[in-house]
């Protein structure tokens, strides 16, 4: 089926079909043969990789979906890798300044992304050349291109599943921002699709690629702390007040607001709900709870060896709400998760930011740039925690790129990303019901609770249902 024109508001076709495995080796060998055949001709140095870049046959050709703050951060970072070529970018806003109302500061969107790729191409060609990077507002056009090997998804949360599934359907390897998905059943669909297609998937829970987090998890996994009794996970508080200018209700000429909204409810346009601050409303994200749970609770699950499992009971406790109806996600919150091992994980905006494992023999606390323990010898490089060693990565993007080349495992595949945020999904159900919910982590179902099951399902606006 062909794609609709890029300027339509039609929802995507979500019928999932298993892609055929890609054969990158064949493509590389074919490109090498082409270069050999054309050897007598004058070939640009860049085509042979003589500008300090890998030759075309060894480059990973990326497509970027979402060129806002995080997307542009990814784009600029991937442009620095010598074996990466960004060949396509996608965004529904041609140009914006995110939350800046004065038109100053960094620019984001489709045009700045194209400009950044072109500038890098000129720099690599030492003043000459340019870029043939493709730009579009429709992610399906990007995913359907034959010159795209892998896709980076850095959209608002309500678009994650749609973009991930389309990329997987087209046989692309995927780097997807956390939280993996906006709704629970979307996460299961993405994890199943990624596994079934045999593609290389990396969830953007990049703390796993920092040494202090790995050391904390290895201390726990090796039993250095004894039996883990409690884990305290600290996340930032949510949005209490309006961010931005609530009087700005006219859709900017650069923005396709219908397409930006996508499967979410069609709410009136308000500047404080689009771009940087969209997570304040549950139509697009679920506040800082679901923003950060994919970081610090991901580390809790890593240490507890819960990458393919989860809690047996979850309770939402003492949630508070914004003073404005522009946002509807919790400001202060506590989530208590109980596990079959007897461990209780307390995720809360009232805890210090980071992850603290508390065991029968001591504790360890880890955050970005921090590693503390009841016995500081445990934190020293010379201390050997034991035989259990975890996936070693010091560069989250590089870990994905290397796995694409080897067809190996990444440090945070889709299944892991889904499991790390499941307690957050369950907490919203618990909060809505006003009681704890009991969960079977093997079957991923509530225990005899039809009411809770109904609340866990995704909700799309009419015409966008995936089934």
Q: Is the pLDDT of residue 38 over 60?
A: no
Q: Which two tokens stand for residue 452?
A: 């809770």
CB distance 208 to 299 below 8 Å? yes
Q: What percent of the chain has pLDDT over 90?
A: 81
CA dihedral 56, 59, 61, 67 (to 10 degrees): -120
**Cα 371 off chain centre by:** 25
CB distance 437 to 312 below 8 Å? no
Helix (H, G, I), strand (E, B), or coil: what is residue 100? coil
> For the segment 110-154, what is each residue's pLDDT rounded down to a tens digit?
999 999 999 999 888 766 556 799 999 999 999 999 999 999 999
Banded pLDDT at 52 (limits 50, 70, 90): low
pLDDT at 123: 86
Q: Is the pLDDT of residue 447 over 60?
A: yes
Q: Is the pLDDT of residue 50 over 80?
A: no
Banded pLDDT at 463 (limits 50, 70, 90): confident
pLDDT at 57: 77
Q: How far apart are the first and last CA of the chain?
A: 19
Which whole number is the average pLDDT over 235-243?
96
Quickly list DSSP for 200-267: -EEES-GGGGSHHHHHHHHHHHTTTT-SEEEEEEE------S--S-TT--SPPTTB-HHHHHTTS--P
Q: Is the pLDDT of residue 46 over 60?
A: no
pLDDT at 129: 58
Q: Is the pLDDT of residue 83 over 50?
A: yes
Q: Is the pLDDT of residue 393 over 50?
A: yes
Whole-number Å distance between alpha carbons of 178 and 164: 12
Residue 54 exposed, middle or buried by CB count within 10 Å (0-12, 13-18, 19+): middle
pLDDT at 466: 59
pLDDT at 39: 35
> For the segment 142-161, what is each residue's pLDDT rounded down to a tens digit?
999 999 999 999 999 999 99
pLDDT at 184: 97
Quickly list DSSP for 409-446: --SS-HHHHHHHHHHHHHHHHHHHHTS-EEEETTTTEE
Which whole number is the average pLDDT over 392-399?
98
CB distance 327 to 239 below 8 Å? yes
Give me the phi and psi of 345, to 5 degrees please: -110, 125
Give the lowest-confidence range in 56-65, 85-94, 299-308, 458-467.
458-467
Sheet-wide strand order for 150-153: 134-136, 84-90, 60-65, 150-153, 173-176, 201-203
Give the lowest-confidence range in 15-19, 170-174, 248-252.
15-19
Sheet strands (E) in 3-83: 60-65
Beta bridge partners of 189: none
pLDDT at 425: 98
Q: What share of the chain is helix, strand, coil (3-state, %, to 5)?
A: 35, 15, 50
Q: Which two tokens stand for residue 304?
A: 């507890």
Which whole number is the average pLDDT over 184-210?
98
Banded pLDDT at 16 (limits 50, 70, 90): very low
Mean pLDDT of the chain: 89
Q: Which helix H or strand E contains 313, and what residues bound it?
A: strand 313-317
> For the segment 317-345, what is each residue's pLDDT rounded down to a tens digit?
999 999 999 999 999 999 999 999 999 99
Instruction: Enter the pTM of the model.
Output: 0.89
pLDDT at 24: 45
Give me the phi and psi of 355, to 5 degrees please: -130, 130
- 238, 233, 437, 427: which is closest to 347 by C-alpha? 233
Higher per-residue confidence, 156 vs 462: 156
Banded pLDDT at 10 (limits 50, 70, 90): very low
pLDDT at 440: 98
Cα-based angle 159, 71, 109 (whole degrees, multiple of 5): 90
Whole-number Å distance between alpha carbons of 48 and 290: 45
Give me the phi and psi of 421, to 5 degrees please: -100, -5
Exposure on the CB side of residue 241, measured as CA atoms within 13 A? 3
Which whole number is the average pLDDT over 291-315?
98
Which whole number is the average pLDDT over 223-236?
98
pLDDT at 464: 82
pLDDT at 130: 62
pLDDT at 109: 97
Peptide bond into 179 cis (omega under 30): yes
């Amino acid at each position: 089926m062909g794609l609709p024109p890029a300027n339509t508001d039609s929802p995507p076709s979500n019928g999932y079909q298993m892609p055929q495995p890609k054969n990158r080796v064949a493509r590389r060998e074919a490109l090498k043969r082409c270069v050999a055949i054309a050897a007598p001709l004058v070939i640009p140095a860049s085509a042979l990789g003589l500008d300090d870049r890998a030759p075309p046959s060894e480059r990973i050709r990326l497509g970027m979906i979402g060129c806002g703050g995080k997307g542009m951060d990814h784009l600029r970072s991937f442009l620095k890798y010598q074996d990466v070529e960004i060949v396509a970018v996608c965004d529904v806003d041609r140009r914006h300044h995110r939350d800046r109302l004065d038109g100053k500061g960094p620019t984001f969107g489709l045009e700045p992304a194209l400009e950044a790729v072109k500038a890098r191409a000129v720099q690599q060609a030492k003043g000459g050349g340019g870029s043939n990077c493709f730009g579009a507002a429709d992610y399906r056009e990007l995913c359907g291109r034959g010159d795209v090997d892998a896709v980076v998804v850095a959209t608002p949360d309500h678009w994650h599943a749609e973009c991930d599934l389309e990329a997987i359907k087209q046989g692309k390897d995927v780097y997807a921002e956390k939280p993996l998905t906006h709704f629970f059943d979307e996460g299961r669909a993405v994890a199943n699709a990624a596994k079934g297609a045999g593609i290389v998937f990396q969830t953007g829970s990049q703390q796993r690629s920092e040494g202090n987090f790995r050391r904390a998890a290895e201390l726990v996994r090796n039993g250095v702390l004894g039996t883990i009794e409690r884990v305290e996970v600290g996340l930032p508080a949510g949005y209490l007040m309006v961010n931005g200018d609530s009087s700005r209700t006219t859709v900017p000429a650069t923005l396709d607001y219908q397409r930006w909204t996508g499967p979410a409810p069609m709410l009136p346009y308000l500047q404080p709900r689009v771009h940087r601050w969209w997570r304040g409303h549950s139509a697009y994200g679920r506040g800082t709870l679901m923003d950060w749970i994919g970081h610090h609770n991901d580390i809790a699950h890593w240490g507890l060896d819960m990458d393919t499992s989860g809690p047996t009971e979850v309770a939402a406790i003492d949630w508070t709400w914004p003073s404005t109806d522009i946002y509807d996600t919790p400001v202060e919150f506590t989530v208590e998760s109980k596990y079959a091992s007897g461990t209780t994980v307390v995720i809360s905006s009232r805890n210090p930011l980071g992850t603290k494992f508390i065991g029968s023999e001591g504790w360890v606390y880890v955050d970005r740039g921090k590693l503390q323990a009841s016995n500081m010898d445990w934190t020293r490089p010379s201390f050997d925690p034991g035989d259990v060693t975890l996936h070693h990565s010091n560069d989250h993007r590089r870990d994905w790129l290397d796995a694409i080349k080897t067809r190996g495992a990444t440090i945070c595949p889709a299944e892991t990303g889904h499991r790390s945020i499941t307690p957050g999904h369950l907490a919203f159900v618990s909060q809505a019901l006003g009681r704890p919910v009991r969960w079977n982590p093997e079957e991923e179902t509530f225990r005899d609770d039809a009411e809770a099951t109904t609340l866990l399902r995704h909700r799309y606006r009419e015409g966008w249902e995936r089934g």
